[in-house]
Structure 1
């Protein structure tokens, strides 16, 4: 029997992660649009916030900042200097312990030589390079010091080199020199335009253990090395001038002893020339108790540089910002595979919103498609109906006709019928007639039958929505837009034979298509021009004289504007007498059309109360004072009750 091994799934995205819901994301985006955001801003907010089962950019940004705080408190950048001083003092101490009991002159001369060692570790190490140690332990400690410096300096240039040189043998150093020579040869060939991917593959096959990042090509390798070289320079800039001078001298001395000084120096110059866009200067604020080796300190500074770039890209606070600006590989490198998957899923979500036909336009000027607007209307209707605790009913008559629910019966199809075909009975008619000579069943016109549906009377529905600035100030804007979208969706889906018109009014009125309504933005416009809104509603009713007139008015203030004879709006507060007279004149015309107005009054205002009382007394309509949070349910229920009574 074979055993089982459990571990983290590494072969691509986690197949067991819950999928994101594009429609749910669209509903969230729609709520932002309904609250007054543009589609572009709403999408940006959605991507920042995330959606159900999917972390957003803000969460990734929070993790980036938390990682940055951890790195900045990780330890001291001058740790290698402290380690070097400690090993140097240990070697000198071990040597003195052997010299002290010896009464000879040679011992005294050696002690004097040790006493005169420079305080600078680099100079002291250089002075002791030719010293003949009497103590085997001191000699071993000094060699550990030199090996440490070689490995740390190389690890600062090439991540993972410290592990690769753990043996510290001459053969290891010869292999490092061979790697540098091969790397320079590749760069030379690339400068001449002669480098090939096969050359790189051979290089990586031979020296891949020096590069744990496993770069895919020369460009990626150059980018890795250049970032590390830039991080090393920024580490040096973070030290005091004395520490920087000591560390530079220790590094040069270690590279000279290894025979790598010229190759490493030349590589640094070439990397800087190839990636001048990187940040090559400027210190970083890193502090802590732990003593970081030079390689670990360089890794910390490099990661902080990646975090700074990621923070800017994830913030998306600059003009023309896009998700594609975020480096997925840097996210994976810094935050792990799951974070990179979250980023890719956000990109997929943005693509799916376009590919599934919900968004169109450029990245900086998105628009909702008709499909998205229908979805927003349906969502608004669902919210409204759930708030009302009911569901829409129907309005029936005894005769059968072209609209309504199926009655369960069918009749022969007649030219011009729009009812759905009764497929089962149509095919049954053909089957009873029998197959043709060739054995095939063929349909004839007389075989077709259509499903009979309940007859419903048509209505001309006008919703007049106050969009004045007072609606914004009273936080009624979103409720008014949701109500209009829900009503339009209700009529379009449940009563398709009805004719619905949405009219928004502030200083003037205008007919709003569903997309215009959804994308309507907040504007500080004064004026409540109900006069103009009633004019537009009257024209809609006149275009459908045979339809039942339904006029619904949503407002939070008395009329303060009217339309002059020249077509320009006139505003006055307190309201001018002519504004009231013209508005009530249009109310009288509505009355003569047989339209009874329902006014949804959203403010506790004595002047509004006085005007609405005068309006309903002249028209025979009624006033409703709803809870603003449930405005949509009041409007929808009012329409349904009217249609049911009809």
Structure 2
């Protein structure tokens, strides 16, 4: 259709969706595969070749080899020399960022960025975020908050259009809100049950973590996010480590994870703190004072779960709410989570894998609004 000019002088053309290039199409699939293979490039490419063979993803004009070459040229792939002298391909930091962005789009796709992303308190006055609202001047208000235009309008209304009289009663200031920082710790269960029964639960958990990390760094830049994993023990990981996360032959030491999470948050200076815990199994492990491990995978061990309840209550005393996402729907596990949540006065969701990310974002937003506004 040719361009047409209407009477206003604006030009209108039919909208045409931009077609993805062969590289872009394959890259979308590659980001999914590299997440599932925990960053193993060779395995991801093998999967891509199998998909290509079955679904004819490439043509003679653009092959998988061409795609790999483009990954290198665009900075998504690097070659390293292994100790035995062989060359090995691995993804770069640029690819890691692309994977996090992809997770954000998948899980929080309806989200639109607005401003710097800081939430409000209900304290007004000497804040640092303009609201667009006005109120009467009060003693103690900073003079640089005065709205000269609105104050003069008031003076004209109160004293007549021809009057230049301006009194304290005419003055108005622009209302502001204080911005508040929030510190979050995300706990990810990497016990063996995350891949039991032929069900991949660790990949969606990783996606949620990557999406949350990307969300906070882009929309809430003043917030902090720490990530830890827990199995028999608990240890912190970096955001860049998330694509490579794998489960291990571990039991579930929930107490160790909570201990580390609270230790991290204890060092944060701001008062708004939160723990998210993603798990699919019951607590089944504790480290004893002598360094040995007490493990019991049969049912809910009273000794272990009581320690968990105590940790939840301790977090409540420190004003740290815990939101638990139980990726299981067994009644006896729900019973444990309910009591755990009651001890902390936090929140709990019982869910399958679908919708997990949306719930995490929803509660992240709600928690900020409840505790900060």
- Normalized against structure 1, the TM-score is what? 0.42
Query: Aligned to 2:209, which of 475, 479, 484?
Result: 484
Query: Aligned to 1:464, which of 173, 180, 187?
Result: 187
Query: Aligned to 1:595, which of 314, 320, 326?
Result: 320
> Are the structure 2 counterparts of residues 495 and 572 from structure 1 closer, same or farther at C-alpha, using a change threshold of 3 Å?
same
Mapped contact 1:551–1:595 kept (Cα < 8 A): yes
> Are the structure 2 counterparts of residues 380 and 542 from structure 1 closer, same or farther at C-alpha, using a change threshold of 3 Å?
same
Give a deviation string over 1:135-168, Cα, whole Å, max 9, x none: xxxxxxxxxxxxxxxxxxxxxxxxxxxxxxxxxx
> Are the structure 2 counterparts of residues 364 and 483 from structure 1 closer, same or farther at C-alpha, using a change threshold of 3 Å?
farther
> Are the structure 2 counterparts of residues 41 and 638 from structure 1 closer, same or farther at C-alpha, using a change threshold of 3 Å?
same
> Are the structure 2 counterparts of residues 31 and 618 from structure 1 closer, same or farther at C-alpha, using a change threshold of 3 Å?
same
Mapped contact 1:550–1:596 kept (Cα < 8 A): yes
1:459 and 1:620 mapped to 2: Cα distance? 19
Mapped contact 1:469–1:526 kept (Cα < 8 A): yes
> Are the structure 2 counterparts of residues 54 and 396 from structure 1 closer, same or farther at C-alpha, using a change threshold of 3 Å?
farther
1:532 and 1:602 mapped to 2: Cα distance? 20
Counterpart position of 1:617: 342
Q: Displacement of 1:620 after TM fit?
A: 0.8
Counterpart position of 1:342: 62
1:355 and 1:490 mapped to 2: Cα distance? 28
Mapped contact 1:616–1:622 kept (Cα < 8 A): yes
2:36 and 2:303 mapped to 1: Cα distance? 34
Query: Aligned to 1:39, which of 38, 41, 48?
Result: 41
Q: Which structure has greater strand proportion?
A: 2
Q: Displacement of 1:512 after TM fit?
A: 2.1
1:391 and 1:566 mapped to 2: Cα distance? 51
Mapped contact 2:194–2:247 kept (Cα < 8 A): no
> Are the structure 2 counterparts of residues 599 and 21 from structure 1 closer, same or farther at C-alpha, using a change threshold of 3 Å?
same
The yes-or-no answer on 1:20 pairing with 2:22 is: yes
Counterpart position of 2:105: 382
Q: Displacement of 1:626 after TM fit?
A: 2.9
1:405 and 1:490 mapped to 2: Cα distance? 23
> Are the structure 2 counterparts of residues 554 and 392 from structure 1 closer, same or farther at C-alpha, using a change threshold of 3 Å?
farther
> Are the structure 2 counterparts of residues 367 and 522 from structure 1 closer, same or farther at C-alpha, using a change threshold of 3 Å?
farther
Q: Which structure has greater helix proportion?
A: 1
Counterpart position of 2:146: none
2:313 and 2:131 mapped to 1: Cα distance? 40
Query: Aligned to 1:640, which of 359, 365, 368?
Result: 365
Counterpart position of 2:232: 507
1:405 and 1:482 mapped to 2: Cα distance? 35
Mapped contact 1:463–1:502 kept (Cα < 8 A): yes
> Are the structure 2 counterparts of residues 573 and 641 from structure 1 closer, same or farther at C-alpha, using a change threshold of 3 Å?
same
Q: Displacement of 1:46 after TM fit?
A: 2.7
> Are the structure 2 counterparts of residues 39 and 396 from structure 1 closer, same or farther at C-alpha, using a change threshold of 3 Å?
farther
1:477 and 1:566 mapped to 2: Cα distance? 31
Mapped contact 1:587–1:615 kept (Cα < 8 A): yes
Mapped contact 1:460–1:540 kept (Cα < 8 A): no
The yes-or-no answer on 1:396 pairing with 2:120 is: yes
The yes-or-no answer on 1:49 pairing with 2:67 is: no
Mapped contact 1:27–1:376 kept (Cα < 8 A): no
Give a deviation string over 1:1-34, Cα, whole Å, max 9, x none: xxxxxxxxxxxxxxxx973234x54432221232
The equivalences for 1:509-548 within 5 A come to: 509-523=234-248, 525-548=249-272
Q: Displacement of 1:515 after TM fit?
A: 2.8
Counterpart position of 2:285: 561
> Are the structure 2 counterparts of residues 537 and 361 from structure 1 closer, same or farther at C-alpha, using a change threshold of 3 Å?
farther
Q: Displacement of 1:391 after TM fit?
A: 4.7
Q: Displacement of 1:356 after TM fit?
A: 2.5
SS at match of 1:565: coil
Task: Figure out how many residues of one structure are paired with residues of the other and give that number.
Answer: 294
Mapped contact 1:460–1:499 kept (Cα < 8 A): yes
Q: Once superposed, what is the RMSD of the aligned Cα atoms?
A: 3.1
SS at match of 2:179: coil
1:40 and 1:566 mapped to 2: Cα distance? 43
Q: Displacement of 1:458 after TM fit?
A: 0.8
2:277 and 2:337 mapped to 1: Cα distance? 11
Counterpart position of 1:354: 72
> Are the structure 2 counterparts of residues 44 and 562 from structure 1 closer, same or farther at C-alpha, using a change threshold of 3 Å?
same
Q: Displacement of 1:586 after TM fit?
A: 2.2
- Normalized against structure 2, the TM-score is what? 0.69
Q: Displacement of 1:364 after TM fit?
A: 6.1
SS at match of 1:396: strand
Q: Rg larger in 1 or in 2? A: 1
2:363 and 2:321 mapped to 1: Cα distance? 12
Counterpart position of 1:29: 30
2:87 and 2:131 mapped to 1: Cα distance? 47
